[in-house]
Structure 1
C-alpha cells in the first residue's frame, strides 16, 4: 500500500504533540502524587495522634474499670451496709465503663487498621511519584530524539518507498515480459514449428502416394516458415531491437513507431532536429526505452488518437518531447497502485537521474499530456 507522505507528516506532528501532551500529563500525575502523598502523611499523623489519645483514655478507663469491679464486689458482699439501690448503681457504673472501654478499643483497632492502610497507600504514592518523575525525564529525552530524528523522515521514507516500489514494479515488469514472450512464442513460433513438423510429415507421405502434389504443399510450407520467421523477428525486436545496434537510435525509433501505429491504431508523428549520429549504446537504449515507456503509457491510459514526438540532438545534450491528445490526468490525485502499476513515470525519472538528466510532466483532465526530458551527452559518452 502506497505511503501518503502528507498523512505521514501529520502523523509525525500528531505523535510529537501527543508525546508532549503525555509529558504534561505525567508531570501532572507526579505533582498530584506528591500532593496526595503529603495529604496521606497528614492523615497518618492525625490518626497517630488520635490513637495516642485513645490509648491514654483506654489506660484510664482500664484503671476505672478495675476500681468499679472492686466497688461492685464490695457492695454485693455487704447487704447490711449497702442498699439495693447502691448495688444497682455500682453495677450500672461498672457496665458503662466496660462498654466505653470496648468502644474505645474497637475505635483504636479501626484507627490502627486505617493507619496501616494509609501507610501502604503512602508507599504506593511515593512509588507513583518517583516513576512519574522518571518518565517525565525519559519522555523529555525521547522528545528531543524524535524532534531531531524525525526531521526529514517523510522525505526519506518517500524516496525509500518509491525505490522499493520501483524495484518491485521492475520485477513485476520482468515477470510480465517473460509471460508475454512465453505466450508469444507459444502462440506464434511454437505453433508454427509444430505445424511445420506435421506438414513435413505430410509431404513425406505425399512423395509415396501422390508426388505431383508435393510441390504445392512445399510452397505452402515455405509460407508457413516465413510467417514463423516473422514472428521470431518481432519477438526479438520487442526484446532488443537489432536495428538499434546495427543502424542506431533514429531508425530503431521509426521502425518501432510504424509497428506501434499498426498494432494500436494511434497515429504517431516523429520529428527530428539536428544531425543524425550514433551515440553511446547505453544512452541509445535508455532513450529508446523512455520513449517506448511514454508510448506505452499513452496506449494504456491516455485514450489518445494522435501523438507527436520531437527529438532534438545537440552537441552536448538531447531533448525529447512527447505530447498526446488524450484524456490527461490530475497529477496531484494520481498515485501508483497497489499492484505495482503506475510506476512508469517514476522509472523514467529514476533512469534520468542516473543519466544526470531531468523530466517534466504537464497534464490536466481533458487536455492531454506532455512529457519532456533532456539528457547530457558528454557525461554519458
Structure 2
C-alpha cells in the first residue's frame, strides 16, 4: 500500500515539473520569436541605411568636386578683382559658401548614418546570440520533457532496473534530440534563412516599385527567383535525408547510389559504390535502417576523417547483408574512442545494428583510415 502512495506522489511531482518546464519552454520560444522578428526588421533597416550611405557618399563626392571648382572660381575673381562686377563677386562668394554648407551637412549626415548602422549591427549581433542561446535552451528542455513525459504507469516495476533503463532511455532521447537539432539547424540555416531573406527583399522590391525604380525591381525579382529555386532544392535535400522516398519506389541499392552521388557532389569526397550479389526483398524498416547505417558512416567520415576517397560495399548473401564503409582518412584509436563514451554517431549505429540483431565492427589506426563493417541477418 505504501508503494502505491509513493508512486502517486512521484507521479504528481512529475506532472507539476512537466507543467513548469513546458511553461518555461513557451516563454523561451516567445523570446526567440520576438528576437527573430526584431532581427528581421533590423536587417531591413541596415539594408536601407547602407543604401542611404551610398547615396550620401555619392553626393559628398559631387559636392567636393563642385566646392573645389567654386573655390577656384572665387580665387580667380579675387585675383582679377577689377575685371569683374560687384554682382559677379557676390555670386561667386555665395556659391562657394552655399556649397561649403551643403558639403558640411552631407558629411555630418554620412557620419550619423554610419554611427546608426554600426549601432544596429551591434544590436543585431546581440539578438542573434540571444536566438542561438534560446534555441540551445529549448533543445535541452526538449530532452527533459521527452524524458519526463514518457510512460510513467509502471514506475514501480521500472524502479527495479532504473539505472539501466534510465541510461538507455536518456541515450536514445539525446540521440533523437541531436537529430532533431541537426534537422532544425539545417532548416534554420538553409530554407528558413532564405525565406526570411525573400521577405526582406520583397519589401525592398515594393519600395522600389513605389518609387518607380522598375529596372532595379526587375533585377531584385530575378535574384529572388534564384533564391526560391535554391531554397526548394535545399528543402528537397532535407526531405530526402529524413526519409528517402526512393527506398520504397526504387529499392535499397539505387537509393544508396543516388545518395552517394549527391553526397559526393556536396562534399567533394570521391565515393565508390560496389554491390555484390542480387538485391533481395527486405522489409521497409530494414531497408531504411541499412540506408541510415551507410548515411551515418558517410557523415562521420566527412566530419572527422578528413578523407579523400571512400569505398561503400554492399554484399547480399543468402542469410545476411554485409556492408563495409572504408575511408583513407586520418583514422583513430578505437579503444580510446570507446573509453571516451563514443560519439552519438557511433552509438546510434550500434543501437540500430542491435535492433536488427546484427553485428558492427570498427577497424582503425591513426593515419591508416577507418573501416566499418556490418553483418545484418536476413529474416525469411
**Normalising by structure 1, what TM-score?**
0.49
Higher relative contact order (CA 8 A, sep 6+): 1
**Bigger radius of gyration among the two:** 1
**Normalising by structure 2, what TM-score?**
0.49
